[in-house]
Structure 1
């Protein structure tokens, strides 16, 4: 690690710590466990997820989705903190297991329009939540609450706070890049704004911050509530894993790096286990704080650890210094963060790309802002997957050609051309999936001639066939048998043959061949044999006797 990266990590970690402070306090209160539980959770998850995790620039701590689950658990257990912290510890252990089992790699399979919509939605949320603090008011929890409160804030603007916040915003935007190497703009604006406020102004500030060391909470088990605790632990573990790895994707996109998903889950699991032990609420990768860290210069795991140490210093008695930070100054800094995280580069070019991708991005953005990020990303991934399957299925059906249009072998082309009304040859190009299965049998029936005597299905270029497609092949076999046609298979790979044999109690064909030429020669021989048989009439047969 060089001096430049350490300076960036130091300022990024300090700035992220200051931004995390009010969030940790507020989310602790929202969980029902109190502000110090939020602080302890931010310290434990923030430090150990950074130390052991797989996303160097990620900042972890209490997040909204996790707090919603904890608040519900608090109500279900009538405030039994021992059982609640046990659920947090179990969630951490489950996340460690997820990482060891390699579950994390699947979260990375998120399409770019979904990531873009998620990022832009987070940016919009950050801006919306800071509009009321800019005007000297406390922003209600949640995006809808903040939007609903805006008319009230607009009718009673604290112009001193507004000027201070806009001045902070202007300073962050205009801070020279050369100076940023020594002191990033957010930290400079934080210091200047706090000094001006302390010396000359009277505006809303963070206020008194509680202090104190945590106590140890060992796991507790109550048979009557065991299922409730276990269910909450599973939900917290899965939700935290998704939340963290989505934030890791955002960090990757901003830093042009690649995180280690499974290591990140292990780090988050260690952090949550320790959080439960010291009486902290569960946490996950926090997108807004991660973005603040990166924008402020943080690039390695040192920044996340420094962020946690800043919070620890506050808990140990430096809260009086942070208590004087004006809310309007924080709001100005965060508005810049929100503007920066919106994916303007994609939005400028979106009209030139596929319309479906733009619609998907906007849908994810809207759901992120007005519903929640988990719903937004889950629905976005499902819709993106369905769209991809539809496109893939159309391509698979299009490639299912009734030859001889593109046969390269003159011998094969001659054989098929001479008997094209009696032989139908179909090529399965590429992997066959369930998306194409519905139209597979219909396409073969439609494209094969009504006088066809033999159907040849060539699997040479098909490395994979799923169960739905195998069922469609069985349908083709049944149709061929019912219409008195012979069915030949060509070039089946061992794994495809084994699967079809197992699922169909044997290959549902009349013959199988290694090459297309062998199948065509056998088909021609059968047709010629049948012609010779039919050419011997009953009269000639009688005269021969």
Structure 2
């Protein structure tokens, strides 16, 4: 049974998170093209179902910046087809649920941080760019980032100074609101109220939100037109993948704050069901939201009840305060979204980027560019591939350095003495852990280069749990055959039964004498020492 302390914490955390989420939901809904009430209903529906079903007890879910970019693109592409947009959202929710049942959550968490930082920063830039024209009091064009940048010069010529002033005021309040007051009155809500109240004192005309309906949303049936099938499937995959990544990144933040561990697959199921229901009612889908989640935890939220309280609070607001929301100027929402866009950009990563690997920085910059000017899935796909290649390269370099060193420090005194007495006529190569395909080819070149000297024997040491794949076995086979062609004896030391069987199956040991296999490292070095002392073997094994 829940203690009274936890119950109070969940109620306070949920209400406080709801206060923070309200202006964000209004702003995201309006910017998406679905309307401000669609953003609030998305926060209600997804917020409640994800909290009730999901696997992160303190997570607050609702519309977010990454989801905004996808939905705004959908609405721009199908401006008069709500059924198509609903179909995409419903299918994306179903896909997220399938991801959860297939236990893919752990793989989504494997996306490199440089890629996450890149596409999140790109999304932040897109959010900012899309708000530049509403910020100066003009109607935002359809067509996304490029359309906005193209229309910006002409829009600046018709700037509404009053709208720009309100947007700047809202941005300033959201940015410089004292942290001591944020505990009692969140910065986003303060900025929204200050900007709206200030707009009532302005005599000039200002674009404002339309009248917001207070009833329950109508059911939106999905499109059954097969001509839209490819567009719906492709868009749903993008939305599902992005929502899943965004949610699980936020879940990791919640884990660090609460010292717990979320259930990623269960969270994907909760998010998927919530987003599918959002699509059925024309609400804006979403994912885990960082700021409301942090506020919830800091205000005492500890269980899934806090997320459900957040949703119920927003439901009450819809029926009680919706008429007042119609007075909010679009420039005020734009100023708030510009602040949110800056928050999305991973400035900490950028500040520290020069201290880390330059490859990771290059990947991050490329992902930002692809996110802004191409699309999110291309950005993530290219980023993951390049990050993987960079990791393999660094791993290969480390493995090659290990092979070249011979790991003499790991040898006992007798083994070191044997190598010292051999004076370069015996080569020892230490195979430890997995040998990446990136290192396999380089290893052959190293052995080939070092074997040009007066080498009599090569000892391949597999005693430290070596794991071999096709590339690694091919490298060993090449080393053995080239050494045999030069009259150099090869010894296998410390090979496990499984590795011995694999080498035999792939004929990587056909040039290795039977008495040179199944040896300990010391035995292999001792036998190699005898060969080194009598001179190079005369017979060639071809």
TM-score (norm 1): 0.79
Q: Residue in 1 aligned with 2:185?
A: 183
Among candidates 153, 156, 164, match of residue 155 of structure 2: 153
The within-5 A match list for 1:309-388 is: 309=312, 312=315, 319-388=322-391
Say if 2:254 and 2:294, in contact at 8 Å, map to a contact too. no
User: Does the aligned pair in 1 maintain the 2:115–2:384 contact within 8 Å?
Assistant: yes
Change (3 A) 1:213 1:408: closer
Partner of 2:292: 293
Please list the CA deviations of residues 457-508 of structure 1 after superposition, one character each: whole Å capped at 9, or x if unmatched.
Answer: 1112354233322221122222234334432211123454454445448777
The answer as to whether partners of 2:50 and 2:270 remain within 8 angstroms in 1 is yes
Aligned length, in residue pairs: 520
Separation in 1, partners of 2:134, 2:251: 27
- Distance in 2 between the 1:355 and 1:198 partners? 51
What TM-score, normalized by structure 2, do the two folds share?
0.79
Residues 407 and 420 of structure 1: is their aligned pair in 2 closer, same or farther, counting only changes over 3 Å?
A: farther
Q: CA deviation at 1:100?
A: 3.2
Structure 1 position 2, deviation (Å): 6.4
Q: What corresponds to 1:166 in structure 2?
A: 168
Aligned residue for 1:109, secondary structure, equals coil
Contact 1:291 1:337 (C-alpha < 8 Å) held by counterparts: no
Question: Deviation digits for residues 183-219 of structure 1, max 9, x if unmatched?
Answer: 1122123233333434655421111235654566899
For residues 374 and 391 of structure 1, the distance between their equivalents in structure 2, rounded to whole angstroms, comes to: 26
Which of 522, 525, 537 is 1:520 aligned to? 525
Offset, 1:530: 8.7
1:25-104 alignment runs, 5 A limit: 27=32, 43-55=44-56, 56-61=58-63, 63-64=67-68, 67=71, 81=83, 89=90, 91-104=92-105
Matched-pair contact (CA < 8 Å) for 1:57–1:251: yes
Task: Assess, with a 3 A threshold, how the Cα gap between structure 1 residues 294 and 332 changes in structure 2: closer, same or farther.
Answer: farther
Whether 1:243 aligns to 2:243 is yes
Is residue 66–residue 282 contact of structure 1 (8 Å, CA) maintained in 2?
Answer: no
CA RMSD of aligned residues (A): 4.2
1:172–1:104 Cα change, 3 Å? same
Which whole-Å CA distance do the structure 1 matches of 2:37 and 2:177 have between them?
35
In the TM superposition, residue 146 of structure 1 has moved relative to its aligned partner by 2.7
* Alpha-carbon separation, structure 2, partners of 1:480 and 1:531: 12
Residue matched to 1:467: 470
C-alpha change, 1:80 and 1:162, in structure 2 (3 Å) is closer
Q: Note if 1:16 corresponds to 2:38.
A: no
Structure 1 regions of 5+ residues with no counterpart?
535-545
Whether the 8 Å contact between 2:480 and 2:508 is mirrored in structure 1 is no
1:106 is aligned to 2:101: no
Distance in 2 (CA, whole Å) between partners of 1:335 and 1:25 is: 14
Shifted more, 511-520 versus 20-29: the winner is 20-29
**CA-to-partner distance for each residue in 1:67-110, whole Å, 9 max, x for gaps?**
489679979xx9795x9867755554443332233211122223
CA–CA separation in structure 1 for the residues paired with 2:297 and 2:131: 23
Residue of structure 1 in register with 2:132 after alignment: 131
The answer on whether the counterparts of 1:25 and 1:39 sit within 8 Å (CA) in structure 2 is no
Q: Measured at CA, do residues 173 and 453 of structure 1 come closer, stay the same or move farther in structure 2, by a change above 3 Å? A: closer
Q: Does the 8 A contact of 1:500 with 1:507 survive in 2?
A: no
How far did 1:40 drift? Answer: 6.2
For the Cα contact (< 8 Å) 2:126–2:372, is it kept in 1?
A: yes
**Secondary structure in 2 aligned to 1:459?**
strand
Inter-CA distance 283–532: structure 2 relative to 1 (3 Å threshold)? closer
Q: CA deviation at 1:326?
A: 1.5
User: Aligned partners of 1:92, 1:116: CA distance in 2, in Å?
Assistant: 24
Aligned CA distance change for structure 1 residues 74 and 127 (closer, same or farther; 3 Å): closer
